[in-house]
Amino acid sequence: MMEFSFHPDAEKELLDAVSYYNECQDDLGIEFAREVYTSIQIIRQYPKAWPQLSPRTRRCLISRFPYGIIYQIKDNEIYIISVMQLNRKPKYWEDRTKK
């Protein structure tokens, strides 16, 4: 299975979302994190299964929450560019991509 890593801003987005959901309801942030990591495991197994946003960038939608994982495949690694809240400005993450 492919390795994965987070862009520092993507990791911050994940942690911020977990905190937000935990403030909304006890343990909801943990459920959100579980959904994200379940999606990452599926991406690691089937990295090309999700639609392309650009020639090197793809997006996997997360179940139950309005988020997507924006990622690139580089050699034998999944590089997570954003844990994107889908109602945010589209493509705000583009400057994080690896050329």
Domain ranges for the chain, please list them.
3-86
Distances (CA, A) of 20 to 31, 33, 87, 97: 12, 11, 15, 26
Convert the pLDDT of each residue in 49-63 to its tens digit: 999 999 999 999 999
DSSP type of residue 96 = G
Name the residue with tokens 């705000």: 92
Q: What is the pLDDT of residues 11-38, one digit of tens each?
A: 999 999 999 999 999 999 999 999 999 9
Rounded Cα distance between 53 and 90, Å, is: 11
CATH of domain 3-86: 3.30.2310.20
Residue 59: CB atoms within 10 A of its CB come to 16
SS3 52: strand
pTM of the model: 0.87
- Of 59, 55, 52, 37, the C-alpha closest to 98 is 55
Question: Contact, 14 vs 36, CB < 8 A?
Answer: yes
Q: Is 77's pLDDT higher than 70? A: yes
